[in-house]
Chains A and B, each alone.
Chain A
Amino acid sequence: MSGRQPVRLAVEAVRYETDGHTLLHGVDLTARPGETVGVVGPNGSGKTTLLRCVYGTLRPTAGRVLLDVEDAARLGAKGRARRVAVVPQDAAGTFGLTVREVVAMGRSPHKRFWEQDGPDDDRRVAEALETVGASGFAGRRYDGLSGGERQRALVARALVQEPGLLALDEPTNHLDIRYQLEILALVRALPATALLVLHDLNLAASYCDRLYVLAGGRVAASGTPAQVLTEDLLAEVYGVRTRVTTRPAGAAPNIVYLPLDGKRAGGGRIGPAGQPAVGSW
């Protein structure tokens, strides 16, 4: 990756409303150039909405998103795509494009519409495919891949985009544990700032420099994983009991989830809002 410099991201008092609902109530977030920042929080807390405001698919109702000194809302689609690459949760069917063709799409922001890919582009695409371990299925149809293979192809597409900021929405979603670790290690190693939405708190703790915990469209806590992922905070935000250990001292916190309210771990059905359903069976 010989691309652009890592971007400094600043989300300032971003508010997002749709259909009379407020999904984000003034969120502040920063990421220094090259930093890997995780966004965690329960379902519906506004993680994906925040990410979409950052990469420009949603326009904040109030507040702004700065990429270095530029207001993201003022950049055109192409200018934004040169700075920010997105790994979405999943991409819909592509009419039978091959994996290589899907990955090569990542070169588009750097091209004129009528420009063809040259040998240099082909080399970058081949490198990215190799990096994510997708060379073996590069000639196959994207539509025919498993979820994990698709995810790796989308990561490769983001890599050839040479972004200053990489935005990833659940990048480990369909992946085997081995690929989860590889992709996250790769994201950390890239010379780009990274903003990730993650479900798995232990992975977030291991791979992110700092975390933001969202709850109800607000930042409930932010800081290093050790500062943020405490038993009290997890109880408050997620409604779960945990045992958090940090061993050896200074390592990433490790979270063990405890059964809800002393009910049997495997037997209790989970009701709304993470509470055990009452009166099951």
Chain B
Amino acid sequence: MSRPRTPLVLVLLAAALLTSAVAGLALGPVRIAPGRVLDIVLGGPGQHTGAFASIVWDVRMPRVLLGAVVGAGLAVAGTVLQALVRNQLADPFLLGASSGASLGAVLVIVFGTAAAGTAGALGGTGAPGVPAAAFAGSMGALVAVYAMARRGAALTTGRLILAGVAVQYILSALTSLVLVLAAHPDQIRSVLFWTLGGLGGARWDELALPAAALLLGTALLIALARPLDLLLAGEEGARTLGLDTGRFRAAVFVLTSLVIGVLVAYSGAIGFVGLMVPHAARMAVGAGHRALLPVAALGGAVFLTLADLVARTAAAPEEIPVGVVTALVGGPFFLWMLRRSTRVEGVAG
């Protein structure tokens, strides 16, 4: 059921991505007709002047692009981590990345701004210094997980999961402690927005890094499709088929962690994308990673672009954290998929 369908699925997803991107550019407090949006976009930056062009190019475009990049990256990371630990409940934040990033961001929001005396000047995730601190936090968490999970040069599945869960709890507790003891009420809101994830801070000059992380990481992982497939044969199976599983897991862990760390630094911890999209992609094209990874990437991009559109517009002028939308939309969809699929294996490992 896998191979012949893949090109069709990729074409459909690409079309869906274009459509949802145009919708993302057209809708908002100011509605712009889709034809006008296309006109402005195809004209190139700076070719059109006026409010609409400015809204499309300067305000909405970076946000739509960041959403697509983050969605694609989380879906790819989730797919790979599920293979890595051979557990379909794994997601990009299993290994502590999100809790580390949250702690880093919260420390800067609470103490950094207090030191600068600019409390309350924060908006969304765009505060200066927050991405850097979040990246440092997630890397710190991942290094801690890695150090605890490794045995010699090898990473074992069970230790990885246990270390990830333990680090996550500790860092979440520290974040809560900082919030309760030190945070100013004004700061709680921006912290909350950050921990639930948001794309509101998207800026053109901050797109290059996440985009590069996504493209490079995904290209490398697609090149590693064969050994990723071998992991599905289980520890012993993969080894008797010639894969040095311990070292390969370690390498993929490092690569995936870097991608997650960069993405989380700009978007906060947006949940459910990296858990749900890989499942849907597997149902569409099977489990072989050469087909699965591109499909998951496009699917994640479509899903997060649409989710962010809902987050911006559903309760306007209030903005809903996009993580709330992904969970509210994704949760029921996920449950429906579970009921629909007769066999969901791998839960027990």
Chain A residues within CB distance 8 Å of chain B: 55-57, 76-78, 80-82, 84-86, 88, 91-98, 101-102, 105-106, 108-109, 111, 113-116, 139, 141, 143-144, 161
Contact = CB atoms under 8 A, between A and B. Distances in A.
A121 to B, nearest CB: 11
Contacts of A88: 236-237, 240
A55 B233 contact: no
Given A78-B242, A96-B287, A113 B224 contact: yes
A86 B288 CA distance: 22
A225 B244 CA distance: 38
Contact of B236 (A57, A78, A94, A98): A57
Interface of B: 1-2, 82-83, 86, 88, 223-224, 226-227, 229-230, 232-234, 236-237, 239-245, 282, 286-288, 290, 343, 345-346
Contact of A108 (B226, B234, B245): B226
Contact of A105 (B1, B239, B241, B282): B241
Contact of B239 (A57, A97, A106, A114): A57
A114 B223 contact: yes
A84 B240 CA distance: 8
A95 B287 contact: yes
Contacts of B345: 93, 95, 143
B286 A96 contact: yes
A97 B243 contact: no
Contact of A91 (B226, B237, B287): B237
Which 6 pairs show the lowest CB-CB distances between chains A and B? A81-B242, A109-B242, A93-B345, A78-B242, A95-B287, A86-B240
B343 A161 contact: no
28 contacts: A57-B240, A77-B243, A78-B243, A80-B240, A80-B242, A84-B240, A88-B240, A91-B234, A92-B234, A94-B287, A95-B282, A95-B346, A96-B282, A96-B287, A97-B229, A97-B286, A101-B286, A102-B233, A105-B233, A105-B241, A108-B230, A109-B241, A109-B242, A111-B226, A113-B224, A113-B226, A139-B1, A161-B241
Nearest to B245: A77
A95 B226 contact: no
Given A113-B226, A114-B223, A143-B343, A97 B240 contact: no
A94 B232 contact: yes
B288 A105 contact: no
B141 to A, nearest CB: 27
Given A93-B346, A95-B287, A97-B288, A105 B240 contact: no
A76 B246 CA distance: 12
B139 to A, nearest CB: 26
Contacts of B229: 97, 101, 105
A139 B3 CA distance: 10
A56 B83 CA distance: 23
A29 B346 CA distance: 38
**Of A56, A76, A86, A108, most B-chain CB atoms within 10 Å:** A108
B83 A95 contact: yes
A108 B1 contact: no
A79 B236 CA distance: 15
A14 B156 CA distance: 26
Contacts of A139: 1
Contact of A144 (B282, B290, B343): B343
B62 to A, nearest CB: 33
A91 B233 contact: yes
Nearest to B283: A96
A85 B244 contact: no
A97 B287 CA distance: 5
A108 B241 contact: yes
A77 B244 contact: yes
Contact of B242 (A108, A143, A144): A108
A114 B224 contact: yes
Nearest to B224: A113
Given A76-B244, A108-B226, A111-B226, A95 B232 contact: yes
Nearest to A82: B242
A109 B233 CA distance: 14
Contacts of B282: 95-96
A77 B244 CA distance: 6
B289 to A, nearest CB: 10
Given A84-B240, A109-B242, A113-B226, A101 B233 contact: no
B230 A105 contact: yes
A98 B224 contact: no
B270 to A, nearest CB: 24
Nearest to A93: B345
Contacts of B2: 98, 101
A93 B346 CA distance: 6
Nearest to A92: B234
A113 B282 CA distance: 22
Nearest to A139: B1
B164 to A, nearest CB: 20
